[in-house]
Structure 1
Amino acid sequence: MIATPTPRKAAGARSSRGLRLVLLALLSCSQHASCAWQPLPKDSGAAGSSAQDVQTRLLHWGSTVTDWDSFTSQLRSSVPCAAGGQAAAGGGAPPRVGYFTRHTGTLWDWMAVAEHLGLNWERRNPHRYAKYGMSGVEADELWRRNGSEMCQPSYDVVVYCDTVVDARPALQGGCAAPMVLQATNRFDWKVKDLAAYMQLMNGTAAASSQVWWITNSPYEALYMSWQGLVLPPERHLMLRPVGATVLPAPTLPPDRAGRFAVVIKGNRRKHPDRDVLLPQLRRLGVEGLVEVYDRQYGGAGALAQHRGVLHLPYQVSIMAMYETLAAGGLFIVPSPPFFRTLCQRYRFGQQFVPLFARAKNQGLNWTEYVEWYHPDFGEALVYFRDWEHLVQLLQTPASDEMWRVKRQAALAVMARVREHSLGGWRKVFGALAEAACTSPAAYGAAGSSAQDVQTRLLHWGSTVTDWDSFTSQLRSSVPCAAGAQAAADGGAPPRVGYFTRHTGTLWDWMAVAEHLGLNWERRNPHRYAKYGMSGVEADELWRRNGSEMCQPSYDVVVYCDTVVDARPALQGGCAAPMVLQATNRFDWKVKDLAAYMQLMNGTAAASSQVWWITNSPYEALYMSWQGLVLPPERHLMLRPVGATVLPAPTLPPDRAGRFAVVIKGNRRKHPDRDVLLPQLRRLGVEGLVEVYDRQYGGAGALAQHRGVLHLPYQVSIMAMYETLAAGGLFIVPSPPFFRTLCQRYRFGQQFVPLFARAKNQGLNWTEYVEWYHPDFGEALVYFRDWEHLVQLLQTPASDEMWRVKRQAALAVMARVREHSLGCWRKVFGALAEAACTSPAA
């Protein structure tokens, strides 16, 4: 589904500089503003309460609540947020939030967030009416019995935390409230009917513009991608727990505080601290240096008084880690190599097994998905490389400077985490309030009017004869930094170097660039490189052509279609902000995949300077299969806008009265040539079609035909968007018939793994193939078998169906264009900010 933006009317005039900063803030906090949502204008600054006030309230609750399973903070007001005119945006009532969790640790974290933001909320515990891992049948029954509790009319927004499965009744039952799914555990925890559950997740949960996703560690989104769930990048953020201190800390006697703590979980069948760590401490003769707790340990404030907490991680993260570090405490854990050895020797931490295996096979750095070893926390934790080293650490005096430095680092790390997470939650609730409480308005103005853009595109289309070498030269060579505050204050806009081999993507870019008024020129990598260059070839190309690939004359570079073309610039250390726009498999023809994947998961995915654009839902799915984890804060799925560049020849009536078939003579296999045309001959309807070979006159020519017959060989082609945007029609097999044809005639090899995974993982494959995606269903004509195709070809041109479908095609592409241009505008706001201004406090 295309996320429909819901911008509001401006409350007052704002400088373009201020708007630019808001855009950058949204990007850095993890999503692109109106690509799915916009924050409330008064909700992007200060939090609801001071940190001191929040801590006072949390400790008050901690000192008075005795039953956390049933605890809730009641709604402060029952006034619907819509009653406030423009809701909180205009000073009316804030949204009423229903928060659902079973887990006390996530509840404490939520309380800190909600109090910092001044939210109007109350908590419900799903444990009261459901077991873990409910089935689809159980979810339907729960919705029938308890639906009014799970999605109450008294809630404007609902948040389901920890176990995403608890949202299943509301998702299946059609809860209309904007929803947050906050995953702090595996999203499919204990689910048995996985096929049906994955259909729900990839359908309703991931596709709905009303549903936002929050993951609390890098591992959760990675695990989801392994299971075949593709999170919507415009509605997903990774926000870590803020490290709440709720329980008032008891003052420990000096002898106990002078020991190290070990917390065992007596209710767990396997627990490495109990089963591995404690026996080793006894064997080493240092058991007297530790204090052992079983579950009830007095909270983070108590642990922080100990010299440190010894721990063998059994999960990628636990709430107590964030809480204890935020309280100035320490964790002492095995080093990464020793931890991996212990896991394999003692067989604990089963979730690490697939992570270690995929890390080896796919070139992943597994430490980036385990919070205990993530670079963000390295300075705050103490690591022991073997048991003897642990003994040395335990015998290191408390006066040693190392302990003080580590505690200070823990406080600093968690201050950064808290700042980022609270900022992210503030933006999310700005969006949720916008969705729940206000009405959508139009996008802001583009760089040029649609009519002006079309005039320029058609001028190029009528004069250019060699598209391989075509470029629009930079209109200005002035560096954008020279414009004081750059484009934000009316200075020079960024100079964009655009690299593509593909004429269709070039035309699409021209439309985007002209709509946005960009200063750009095009380079064709085909001039100096073959497809699928190796790492060695990329290094040599950088040595010879680096000044062309990342020129000093460019403030921003965009590599489109074949991501591999960016390999020299990525390996060579191009310093310019970069966009990798994937309109084809990102690893196209690459042979040295291990080295390439290291580059992709390292430099390309990790650098804050690199943004990712995919042009269909399939590209990100394919990347996840290959082990590439896209950065959600710098990835958008933006479809082509359907550019019309070539002036359309006027077709004679007899030709326009036929259906078009475009074959590609340069392809070894092409189903329109090899399957469709022979069938049309067999059926005796070949005379109703006009056959073209590559040169067909552009989308304007195809739109004059009664329709274009096509057997898809790729998940999408540029001509589909172009032709629909020109008011043309495509006639393609229905999903079941298409699958049958693919399997019978063995075309469209990229569909083979998609069909297989759809079957094994419960994916709805039609949501990854643009010809069958729900967004385009109303605009295409489907035939269920060859006889049905004959009936369609013989249906009179005057039949109302043809007119309705053409109107639907125009409407669908208008929505696609509005969404894509709006998001490109936000991306270039961020790119200009990164390229043209200096960082400030």
Structure 2
Amino acid sequence: MIYNLMLNKKYGIVLTVGLIWVLVGVFFLHNRGKNASSGIWEETIDINGVLGPKFDVTKRIAYISGHIGTTTDFKYMAQHLLLENVDYYDSRDFFDYLSSRDGYRSIVIDGTVEEICSTHDAIFISDSLADGWPFIMDGKQPCKNVVFVTTNRFDCGVHEGDREVFYQDFNYSLNRNDEYRARVIANNRFEVPYMRSKGIDVPDYHPVIRPFGYTSVQAIEIDPNDVNAACLIIGRVPQDEILMNNLVDQHTTHKCKVVPYHYGGPKTLEKYESVVVHLPYQVSIMKMWENLAYGVLMLVPSPEFFTQICTENVCQQDHDAMEPKRVIGEEHWSEYLDFYLPGWGECFIQYNSWEELDNILTSKDYLKNVNTCRNKMEDLRELNLQLWKKLLTVLH
């Protein structure tokens, strides 16, 4: 009798688990292909355990970046997908940021490129994609499975005088008709349209995989008297530290606390019962996702009010955030800034006037959304892992 009960229980568990996987698979198939205008994600995927091929964790991977944040993000993925053979290269050990064409070519000449290619199955280059130029120069691509992880304008690390040649090499690498064709992924919606505005023929499949919001920066102590600060401003750029600080002071009844450049990351910010006031200077920044992961919400002006602020004032760092206006046009430009991503309005909270901002800071109603936004980040992380798994599976 006990044996029969155990057997029935075992079959019940198996059937329940199987039903759950079927429902999950149906959900992802039903939602595949959503874009930012119709849902939160640009792409959803088949669950690997149900529909995908076996995932190879032994693939030899090289990751190249000069930015600690992007490297930390990739390490999070590698750790959670149990990848066993990942080598990390700091591109600043090879050349400076914004190097010359000859500077980038130096690691072709000294054999570094050939060595990396011959000992790895896939090469990922992130942050400044120019750091990957040596791997595609002159159409002589020695590496299979070169993947450009785009977190910034793809040409930001290239001198103006070298850009046309870089564009030619980059375009050719993405459109080869052999096994050496490179791939592109992006961490926001704007990067691929920007590439296309420069004449790059980007293939249709280019997944958008946003940051995991993980940080290794350790928290620092804060003044207990500041725990209930009306608002926080991160002193990373003058546009926030000076302009926004002054504007909030002038137009609301509140005074923000400005935290220093090295402020201890989101693990420090979460100690405050407060919110970050931010004037966007990029279409997407890694700390916006890091903040949400630790329950730190952000206040940003609506697209219209953002435009008004920077029309009435000198916004010193708004060039990149406003770049979609020049590329996409006035009507849809804000759809390409992650701060205005549909479905995230309770986490990246918009205000249309100084009066509305004042009311938000006074009521602190945003605090009720802290756990909701944390949970959304957990969902985002899971989706990101599945997208990475899908990408790694198709690299042969």
What is the TM-score when the length of structure 2 is the normalising length?
A: 0.79
1:258 pairs with 2:214: no
Residue of structure 2 equivalent to 1:113:
77
Deviation at 1:251, TM superposition (A): 5.5
Shift of residue 304, structure 1, vs aligned partner? 2.3
Contact 2:297 2:348 in 1 (8 A): yes
Give the 3 Å change call, closer, same or farther, for CA 413–134 of structure 1 in structure 2: same
* Maintained 8 Å contact 2:91/2:131: yes
Percent sequence identity is: 27
Tell me which residue corresponds to 1:765: none
- The residue matched to 1:395 in structure 2 has which SS? helix
Answer yes or no: is the 8 Å Cα contact 1:31–1:237 preserved in 2: no
2:358 alignment partner in structure 1: 391
**1:264 Cα deviation (Å)?**
1.4
Once the two structures are superposed, residues 180-203 of structure 1 have per-residue CA deviations (whole angstroms, 9 ceiling, x without a partner) of 110000001142222211111110
Q: Distance in 2 between matches of 1:294 and 1:206?
A: 45
Partner of 1:368: 335
Q: How does 1:752-763 map to 2 (within 5 A)?
A: none
2:60 paired with 1:96 = yes
- In the alignment, which of 247, 262, 276 is matched to residue 280 of structure 1? 247
How many residues align? The count is: 350
Does the 8 A contact of 1:245 with 1:327 survive in 2? no
> Match of 2:164?
195
The aligned counterpart of 1:205 is 174
Q: Which residue identity lines up with residue 193 of structure 2 in the other structure?
A: L
In structure 1, give the amino acid aligned to 2:235. I
Shift of 1:284: 4.5
Q: Cα deviation per residue 1:480-499 (whole Å; 9 max; x = unaligned)? A: xxxxxxxxxxxxxxxxxxxx
Aligned residue for 1:341, secondary structure, equals helix
1:526-537 aligned at under 5 Å gives the runs none
How far 1:382 moved relative to its partner?
A: 2.0
Change (3 A) 1:333 1:282: same
2:17 equivalent in structure 1: none
In the TM superposition, residue 42 of structure 1 has moved relative to its aligned partner by 2.5
Partner of 1:147: 112
Instruction: Report SS of the residue matched to 2:119.
Output: coil
Q: 1:299 to 1:174 in 2, by over 3 A?
A: same
Deviation per residue, 1:250-274 (Å, 9 max, x gap):
4645422211221112xx5xx3102
Q: Which amino acid aligns with 2:241?
A: R
**1:337-376 matched pairs, under 5 angstroms:** 337-345=304-312, 346-348=314-316, 349-357=318-326, 359-360=328-329, 364-376=331-343
User: Paired residue for 1:418, among 356, 365, 381?
Assistant: 381
TM-score (norm 1): 0.39
Q: What's the Cα RMSD here?
A: 3.0
Indicate the residue corresponding to 1:305 in structure 2: 271
Q: What is the distance in 1 between the residues matched to 2:352 and 2:78?
A: 40
Partners of 1:169 and 1:26 lie apart in 2 by: 39
DSSP 3-state at the match of 2:87: strand
State the alpha-carbon separation in 2 of the partners of residues 417 and 147 from structure 1: 36
Alpha-carbon separation, structure 2, partners of 1:373 and 1:32: 23
Task: Return the letter of the residue paired with 2:65.
Answer: T
| Structure 1 match to 2:129 | 164
- Given that 1:304 and 1:330 are in contact with CA atoms closer than 8 Å, whether structure 2 keeps it comes out as no
Name the structure 2 match of 1:56.
none
Q: Is the 8 A contact 1:101 1:125 kept in 2?
A: yes
3-state secondary structure, aligned to 1:351: helix
Q: How does 1:500-519 map to 2 (within 5 A)?
A: none
* Structure 1 unaligned blocks of 5 or more: 1-16, 34-38, 44-87, 436-841
Runs of 4+ in 1 over 6 A off after TM superposition: none
**2:193 touches 2:327 (CA, 8 Å); kept in 1?**
no
1:243 has 2:213 as partner: yes
Question: Are 2:347 and 1:380 aligned?
Answer: yes
Aligned pairs for 1:729-768 within 5 A:
none
Question: SS where residue 319 of structure 2 aligns?
Answer: coil
In structure 2, the residue matched to 1:219 is 190
Q: For the structure 1 residues 311 and 117, does the alpha-carbon distance in structure 2 shift closer, same or farther, using more than 3 Å as the test?
A: same
**CA offsets 1:477-534 (integer angstroms, 9 cap, x no match):** xxxxxxxxxxxxxxxxxxxxxxxxxxxxxxxxxxxxxxxxxxxxxxxxxxxxxxxxxx
Instruction: Quote the residue 1:184 is aligned against.
Output: 151
Taking structure 1 as reference, are residues 198 and 264 closer, same or farther at Cα in structure 2, changes over 3 Å only?
same
> What is the Cα deviation at residue 244 of structure 1?
0.8
8 A Cα contact 1:102 1:126, kept in partner: yes
Q: Structure 2 matches for 1:528-677, cutoff 5 A?
A: none
Query: Is contact 2:252–2:357 with CA below 8 Å preserved after alignment?
Result: no
Q: Which amino acid aligns with 1:430?
A: T
- State how far apart, in whole Å, the 2-side matches of 1:384 and 1:26 are: 30
Shift of 1:26: 11
CA distance in 2, matches of 1:383, 1:176: 45
| CA deviation string 1:355-408 (max 9, x = no partner) | 2245546xx422210011121322322222222332333232x5xxx2233213
Q: Does 1:294 align with 2:260?
A: yes
Alpha-carbon spacing, 1:99–1:330, altered in 2? closer, same or farther (3 Å): same
Letter in 1 for 2:192: A
Does the 8 Å CA contact 2:239/2:315 hold for their aligned counterparts? no
State the SS of the aligned residue for 1:189: coil
Q: Counterpart of 2:169 in structure 1: which amino acid? A: L
Is the CA contact (8 Å cut-off) linking 2:280 and 2:321 kept in structure 1? no
* Larger-Rg structure: 1
Q: In 2, are the aligned partners of 1:308 and 1:332 still within 8 Å (CA)?
A: yes
Quote the Cα distance in structure 2 between the aligned partners of 1:328 and 1:343: 29
Assess if the C-alpha contact under 8 Å between 1:219 and 1:370 holds in 2: yes
1:338/1:31 CA distance change after superposition, 3 Å: closer
Q: 1:689-743: per-residue Cα shift (whole Å, max 9, x none)?
A: xxxxxxxxxxxxxxxxxxxxxxxxxxxxxxxxxxxxxxxxxxxxxxxxxxxxxxx
The residue identity in structure 2 corresponding to 1:42 is K
Q: Does the 8 A contact of 2:217 with 2:264 survive in 1? A: yes
SS of the residue 2:350 aligns to = strand
Between the aligned partners of 1:100 and 1:206, the Cα distance in structure 2 is 22
Give the secondary structure class of the aligned counterpart of 2:214: coil
Query: CA 1:383/1:25 → structure 2, altered by over 3 Å: closer, same or farther?
Result: closer
- Counterpart secondary structure, 1:218: coil
Closer/same/farther in 2, CA of residues 150 and 126 from structure 1, 3 Å limit:
farther
1:334 alignment partner, one of 276, 297, 301: 301
Higher relative contact order (CA 8 A, sep 6+): 2
Give the C-alpha shift of residue 319 in structure 1. 0.5
Q: Are the aligned partners of 1:382 and 1:406 in contact in 2 as well (CA < 8 Å)?
A: no
CA–CA distance in structure 2, aligned partners of residues 286 and 108 of structure 1: 39
Deviations 1:14-55 (A, max 9, x none): xxx99xx6994996695999xxxxx97232xxxxxxxxxxxx
Deviation at 1:161, TM superposition (A): 0.8
2: CA distance between counterparts of 1:333 and 1:354? Answer: 17
Cα distance change, pair 205–222 in 1 and its aligned pair in 2 (3 A):
same
The Cα of 1:277 is off from its aligned counterpart by 0.7
Q: Which amino acid aligns with 1:416?
A: D
Write the distance in 1 (CA, Å) between the matches of 2:328 and 2:126.
28
